Structure 1
Amino acid sequence: MQFPESWLREFCNPPLTTQQLADTLTMAGLEVEELEPVAPAFSDIVVGEIKEAVQHPDADRLRVCKVDVGGPELLNIVCGAPNARVGIKVPCAMVGAELPPGEDGKPFKIKIGKLRGVESYGMLCSAKELKLADDHGGLLELPADAPLGQNIREYLNLDDTLFTLKLTPNLAHNLSVYGIAREVSALTGAALRPLSFPVAAVGTQDKLPVKIEATDLCGRFSGRIIRNVNTKARTPQWMVDRLARCGQRSVAPLVDISNYVMFELGRPSHIFDLDKIHGGLHVRWGKVGEQLKLLNGNTITIDDFLKVGVIADDKEIESLAGIMGGDATAVSDDTRNIYVEAAFWWPKAVAGRSRHFNFSTDAGHRFERGVDPQHTVEHIERITQLVLEICGTPETVCGAMDDQKPNMPDARQVTLRVARAAKVIGMPLTQQQCYDALTGLGLPTEQGDGVLTVTAPSFRFDINLEEDLIEEVARMIGYENLPTSKPLAPISPKLRAENRRGQYEVRHLLAGLGYQETINFSFVEEKWEQELAGNPNPIKLLNPIASHLSVMRSSLIGSLLQVLKFNVDRKASRVRVFEIGRVFLRDESVEESDTTVKGFSQPMRVAGLAYGPANTLQWSASENGKIDFFDVKGDVQALLAPLDATFEPAEHPAMHPGRCARVLQGGRAIGFVGELHPRWRQSWDLAQAPVLFELELDAVLARKVPVFQSVAKHQAVERDIAVVVAENVTHAAVMDAIHSGAPQGMLRSAVLFDVFRPKAGSSGGLADGEKSLAIRLALGSDTAALADADIESAVQGILQSLTDKTGARLR
């Protein structure tokens, strides 16, 4: 919200400097984002009138002017402006005057000079030279009644300051100069000038038929016909200046009047060309397929995604309710008869509609936050007053006021407990302090025993709860006056269970394994979900930040592949990345709570990707092979340690069907590890296949509680065995058979250290479809040294178990 200080002080003029006023507003929650002077510094520039303008004898583009500045003599000034002519009043810089600084930052001082042999005693100025505007359209022409010799800063009110406020959404009542003046009056105690709305003389009882068909859209609709107006009139300079200082360009008198009242009182309104309306007006919800060309030139089509309110006539829609008017009924220089409309639109009926059509307006910004429904008639009287002053003619006739109130909002009563306010604000408060703060803001308040009951006025849509009133009390006291005190509260540390580790430990472990962390968006391409995650029904976003990032991810794999592709395209030969992030799944069993959304599960996962050489280039390695499945499998085992994980063949939409394994922990599936599927490798244009893993984070965070165990007193005995098993027998099955066949407490460890498969054309003592596994067994006892008979018995028991459970035979 931008406005000039002088306009604010017309309504409320506290005895404060500009900076003090800005500080007061900021400390009351109305943050002053910027203070900027209306015009840069310059001096000795006055109003002058050109009395004579003749051609320069030696220059085609120069004129020698005689200028009256209210002094005893006319000044001789040479000027090259194309509009320098007799009779106009312009800014005149006297000898000794300083103009605004140029590009070098230094002010320009006017001296007596000679231009092509003719002496010049001053300079006639353009708006650009005074840095009042960017365009250089010649001299700045002033109104004919400008007093000669008056300082131009005083005449144009250039010793003014522009305030720019950064308002929060709940402060919609401050989206007008009068609304801010009301706040200043409450904060400083300065008198607030009451508003007066003179009632225009009614010359005709004509009314435009208006039917409100959607009362959940429009709660009040007021309007008036005004005939025989002069739309070719010129907007007064004072109004043009005020609009410009509010950041609004002057368009045409009727449009300027509507905008002026909006900035003055916070009331958006609309003026129709009455002769372009077919029949009457209908206030209703738009129908799917209806189109409207707006004042900004855009043509919008109403769809079934969001209900949109419209004002229509008997033939077509003419306006987007509370947002923008239509081009078909816009006023123009040919307009003679107008219809002035001011309405109350329910905030929920306007909110989001501008964004739906990819534009925003000042009217929509105000209506979606709430505009006072009580003063539509008075504000139309204010608009009428300005129309008559600026565009009125002897034939101008005002119609009777038409005011319909089908669904006005009810007044809300909110109770404030003084003790509660003191506790929340953190300082002692009296009931009188609270009463004075609330009544100063114009809030009707009744007192009880330690309780205040406030009836929220029609312009305060933000007052619904006791906390809203507490905030108002705190604002009026001033945030800078609140005491600074340290909070006192019992502190009980939240200790993590011993069988859990933190996410940072997982991050450090992966970083130690050579992986680098990435952070990616939770919304991804729908194609990734369908192809890489095998999710045909992903969760779609209603308002994606980009058209291709349209769904929520159910897997981290797509994000990691994009990171890989980004790096490979930039000639990275070795990439190892990981991400810890949330995925989003449909799950009807999830109930609504403070941390969950009904019907959606949001578990955390950890995923990693390895690509390129297994190791970085080093002098001690004669050969550096490519990363493979077993390298990443080892990383997964290290990540889950000290808990043991088992792996079984599986299929995953993103992974190679023969080089993919499901990761199990305690018999429960917790994720996948595998090589990227060849078709995705080809579609992503990768020179080799990366190896990926994705695990449930909760399973990774689990760990064993350390248990004390004494050091063995007796040395362990190692025995190597080689067994022949079928090719389809897994390592996990072999280890399960060994552990189940060993005597209780005797087997310290079992490690597979060799796998033998015969070469093509040579049996090696094995049949087709067989392999030989060499396993080292470590046997020991905590009570006594093992005898040969004990060792042999243990080995035979293990071999028998292998035979029974896996069909193995001793090689």
Structure 2
Amino acid sequence: MQFPESWLREFCNPPLTTQELADTLTMAGLEVEELRPVAPPFTKIVVGEIKEAVQHPDADRLRVCQVDVGQGALLNIVCGAPNARVGIKVPCALVGAELPPGDDGKPFLIKVGKLRGVESQGMLCSARELKLSEDHGGLLELDAAAPVGQDIRAYLNLDDTLFTLKLTPNLAHCLSVYGIAREVSALTGAPLKQPVFPGVPTKLADKLPVKVSAPDLCGRFSGRIVRNVNTRAATPQWMLDRLARCGQRGVSPLVDISNYVMFELGRPSHIFDLDKIHGGLDVRWGKAGEQLKLLNGNTVTVDEKVGVIADDSQVESLAGIMGGDATAVSDDTKNIYIEAAFWWPKAVAGRSRRFNFSTDAGHRFERGVDPSLTVEHIERITQLVIDICGTPETVCGPVDDQVVHLPASQPVALRVARAAKVIGMPLTQAQCVDALKRLGLPVSEADGVITVTPPSYRFDIAIEEDLIEEVARMVGYNNLPTTPPLAPITPKLPAEATRSPFAVRRLLAGLDYQETINFSFVEERWEHELAGNPNPIKLLNPIASQMSVMRSTLLGSLLQVLKFNLDRKAQRVRVFELGRVFLRDASVANTDTTVEGFHQPMRVAGVAYGANDVLQWGRKEQGIDFFDVKGDVEAMLAPLRATFEPGTHPAMHPGRCARVLMNGKLIGHVGELHPQWRQSWELPQAPVLFELELDAVLQRTVPQFKAVAKHQAVERDLAIVVAERVTHSDVMAAVESAVPASLLRSAVLFDVYRPKAVRPGEEHAAGGAVAAGEKSLAVRLTLGRDEASLTEAEIEAAVQAVVTQLVARTGGRLRV
């Protein structure tokens, strides 16, 4: 809601500065989002009248004007505006004037100069040059009654301030200048100027037949005929200025009058061209397939859930939202029908959004507009029509007021003790009564209980908490005491064998990953492709069509981040996310932290793309691969050790994906992006991804003391030839089963050898040679004992045990 301060002060003028007034409104719940001047600073610009305008002797598009600025002598000013002519009054910048800054940010200083050899003693200004609007089609023409020589800031009231309020939906009664003035009067005690609505004399008995067929759509319908109006009249400048300062451009006098009353009193109305109405009007619900061309040029198709106003032949307007083009007023209109109605908020709410537009009228009606003043507001509109568009032949008919079904106000009780408890400060009954009476609410008192019957313009008052809010607003949120909560607190210490999610974030940041935060609702295609989830959890009311389901994997969000960065020429991307996923699980019951039928675990996932290290001189650039990210996963899980075995995941390459197991339990996957999805996401290289259960990542071992070994360990290297299908895990399991833990300090794979090529006929090698389909794995065993040094016999026995187990469990052989 935007409006000029001067208009507000016409209804209520408290002894407060602009900033104090803004602070008062904000602390009462009417947040002032912005304060800005109507015009930027400029000086020495006055009202000037062109007394003479002749063609420049050396320029076709320039005129030499003689301008009266109230100084006695006329000023000689050269002007190129197409509308520079004798008799008009325009803003004139005198020599020494400072105009608003241009695009370069520097103020423009007016000096005596020459244009094509003719001296110019000032400058005639357009609205754009004064930063009043973007109109630069010519000079800003002022009213003929403008006093010559008066400062233009004073004449146009350019020292006014524009207030922009961010109103919550329950404050519909503040969607007008008068409604805000009513609040200001209640907050400050300043007198409120009540609008008066004298009846316009009626000299006509004509009434337009109107039938309200849908009482659940329209509760009251008022209208009047006005004949012989002059729609070619000009809208007064004062009205255009106020509309512009409310963010509304001028259209035509009748439309401007309707809009003006809407901003002034909060009453949307509509003016029909009477001669374009066929027969009478029927206020009803739409019928499937009916079409209507609106004033904005769109043609919409209505149904039974959209209210309309129709005549005997067609639909004429969307009820409470926008009028139709067929009955729109124009320059040829002579007779009009003024309509003001009460539309039920639930009958209007959401209808305009079905057609992908919104209007000021719909915005107000869906929140609630006072049904009790339709006749009075028609009188106000009629008087403005007569004042602006009236002719000697203009006549008005009586107001046809049909009251069909109005909302009944239900009394609401306020317990003073309850209000004090909710607000958090001591309150007396007198304080509460005073606050509510200042708001103009009818009050009756009993012992500790105040009963309020909401007035017709207060749709938001229905329960006790609504009245408590009103009391708090009148007290002022800035006056509420700061009371820290008091509660017994028992510290809950985390188990020593766990770490915090923050520690995981720090660890990943230390591994050169950057954290991202993404929406939990994603594109349905991601779920089908990346999660292999044919039945994702769908949202009933998604915020966007591409965010229609809840995610069951974090990988789609991370790939979207990767794609976003690659589109902006990023060469190396490493990102991660800690977030919740959403899975169907019938075993989950309703609790304080769970929802029946849905499992919502936390996961940590990451994506690495590009080089495995930043560009440097000491090593050649090498692309990221599976083992780089596998190492990052191992570092994140340390000091616990996970095992990795071949696996499959819908998002990952079937031959470059591993299952991550901790104590035999699957906790996630790591692997390269599937080539199919790499192609569909248009990625130049394949990124490597991981996704793990966060609960498993948070586990860690408690540090335990262990003495430094007093006896030197020994190392033995073994090379064993195994089939390609044998994994590293198989080899390590065989080694660990062969030697007691007290003897084996470590076993590390340090070399893998595969033959480059095999000639025909030599596929089966003899002895220790490596044949096709085989590989050689070299393992270094570190053996030692705390009590004493190992003997050669013990070392040899341990090595032979390892060889025996490797042969037995993997089918391999020693390489010689």
Residue in 1 aligned with 2:342? 344
Residue in 1 aligned with 2:379? 381
Residue in 1 aligned with 2:245? 245
Residue in 1 aligned with 2:629? 632
Superposition CA RMSD, Å = 4.8
Residue in 1 aligned with 2:214? 213
Partner deviation per Cα, 1:711-757 (whole Å, 9 max, x = no partner): 66777676766666655344434544555565686655544455566
Say whether 1:476 aligns with 2:474: yes
Shift of 1:341: 2.3
One of 356, 363, 381 as aligned partner of 2:361: 363
Residue in 2 aligned with 1:409? 407
**AA at the equivalent of 2:447:** D
Residue in 2 aligned with 1:4? 4
Contact 1:652/1:660 (<8 A) preserved: yes
Residue in 2 aligned with 1:654? 651
For 2:811 and 2:65, the matched residues in 1 are separated by 117
For 2:680 and 2:125, the matched residues in 1 are separated by 67
Contact 1:533/1:554 (<8 A) preserved: yes
Check 1:791–1:447 CA distance in 2 against 1; reply closer, same or farther (3 A cut).
farther
Residue in 1 aligned with 2:428? 430
Say whether 1:230 aligns with 2:230: yes
SS at match of 2:224: strand
Check 1:434–1:102 CA distance in 2 against 1; reply closer, same or farther (3 A cut).
same
Shift of 1:470: 3.2
SS at match of 1:204: coil
Residue in 2 aligned with 1:297? 297
For 2:99 and 2:611, the matched residues in 1 are separated by 66
For 1:409 and 1:541, the matched residues in 2 are separated by 34
Contact 2:93/2:110 (<8 A) preserved: no
Shift of 1:436: 0.7
Residue in 2 aligned with 1:186? 186
SS at match of 2:379: helix
For 1:17 and 1:615, the matched residues in 2 are separated by 60
Check 1:497–1:277 CA distance in 2 against 1; reply closer, same or farther (3 A cut).
farther
TM-score in terms of structure 2 length: 0.81
For 1:154 and 1:684, the matched residues in 2 are separated by 61
Partner deviation per Cα, 1:314-355 (whole Å, 9 max, x = no partner): 444332332221212211122233332223334344344444
Shift of 1:4: 3.2
**AA at the equivalent of 2:207:** D
Moved more, 195-204 or 671-680: 195-204
For 1:343 and 1:593, the matched residues in 2 are separated by 48
For 1:798 and 1:116, the matched residues in 2 are separated by 107
For 1:296 and 1:603, the matched residues in 2 are separated by 49
Residue in 1 aligned with 2:273? 273
Say whether 1:670 aligns with 2:670: no
**AA at the equivalent of 1:164:** T
For 2:387 and 2:644, the matched residues in 1 are separated by 87
Residue in 2 aligned with 1:334? 332
SS at match of 2:397: strand
Say whether 1:398 aligns with 2:400: no
**AA at the equivalent of 2:214:** E
Partner deviation per Cα, 1:287-322 (whole Å, 9 max, x = no partner): 555443221223344589xx5443334444332332
**AA at the equivalent of 1:21:** L
Shift of 1:433: 1.5
Residue in 2 aligned with 1:142? 143
One of 503, 506, 511 as aligned partner of 1:505: 503
**AA at the equivalent of 2:396:** V
Shift of 1:272: 1.8
Shift of 1:260: 1.4
Check 1:237–1:115 CA distance in 2 against 1; reply closer, same or farther (3 A cut).
same
SS at match of 1:318: strand
Contact 1:94/1:110 (<8 A) preserved: no
Contact 1:236/1:390 (<8 A) preserved: yes
**AA at the equivalent of 2:603:** R
Partner deviation per Cα, 1:532-582 (whole Å, 9 max, x = no partner): 333445556788787766665443334444555566677766554433334
For 1:24 and 1:785, the matched residues in 2 are separated by 85
Contact 1:544/1:550 (<8 A) preserved: yes
SS at match of 1:375: helix
Residue in 1 aligned with 2:606? 608
Contact 1:99/1:109 (<8 A) preserved: no
Partner deviation per Cα, 1:27-56 (whole Å, 9 max, x = no partner): 3333442142569666795797x8x86979
Shift of 1:437: 1.1
Moved more, 331-340 or 415-424: 415-424
Residue in 2 aligned with 1:255? 255
Shift of 1:126: 7.2
Shift of 1:673: 1.6
Moved more, 738-747 or 526-535: 738-747
Residue in 2 aligned with 1:445? 443
SS at match of 2:377: helix
Residue in 2 aligned with 1:765? 767
For 2:628 and 2:57, the matched residues in 1 are separated by 91
Partner deviation per Cα, 1:362-384 (whole Å, 9 max, x = no partner): 21222233322332233223223
**AA at the equivalent of 1:630:** F
Residue in 1 aligned with 2:700? 703
For 2:93 and 2:499, the matched residues in 1 are separated by 80
Shift of 1:259: 0.9
Say whether 1:204 aligns with 2:202: no
SS at match of 1:659: strand
Moved more, 769-778 or 344-353: 769-778
| 1:453-602 alignment runs, 5 A limit | 453-483=451-481, 493-520=491-518, 526-538=524-536, 553-564=551-562, 575-585=573-583, 601-602=599-600
TM-score in terms of structure 1 length: 0.81
For 2:92 and 2:511, the matched residues in 1 are separated by 76
For 1:572 and 1:18, the matched residues in 2 are separated by 49
Contact 1:99/1:130 (<8 A) preserved: no
For 1:98 and 1:554, the matched residues in 2 are separated by 66
**AA at the equivalent of 1:667:** G
Contact 1:609/1:693 (<8 A) preserved: yes
**AA at the equivalent of 1:649:** P
**AA at the equivalent of 2:181:** A
Contact 1:90/1:125 (<8 A) preserved: no
**AA at the equivalent of 2:452:** V
Shift of 1:181: 1.4
Residue in 2 aligned with 1:693? 690
**AA at the equivalent of 2:765:** S
Residue in 1 aligned with 2:24? 24
Contact 1:200/1:398 (<8 A) preserved: no
Shift of 1:236: 3.6
For 1:333 and 1:26, the matched residues in 2 are separated by 43
**AA at the equivalent of 1:195:** P
Contact 2:235/2:256 (<8 A) preserved: yes
Gaps of 5+ in 2: none
Shift of 1:619: 6.8
Shift of 1:265: 0.7
Contact 1:579/1:607 (<8 A) preserved: yes
Check 1:512–1:141 CA distance in 2 against 1; reply closer, same or farther (3 A cut).
closer
Shift of 1:661: 1.8
Shift of 1:658: 2.0
For 1:102 and 1:572, the matched residues in 2 are separated by 39
Contact 1:204/1:400 (<8 A) preserved: no
Equivalenced residue count is 797
For 1:277 and 1:19, the matched residues in 2 are separated by 50
Contact 2:516/2:575 (<8 A) preserved: yes
For 1:562 and 1:147, the matched residues in 2 are separated by 64
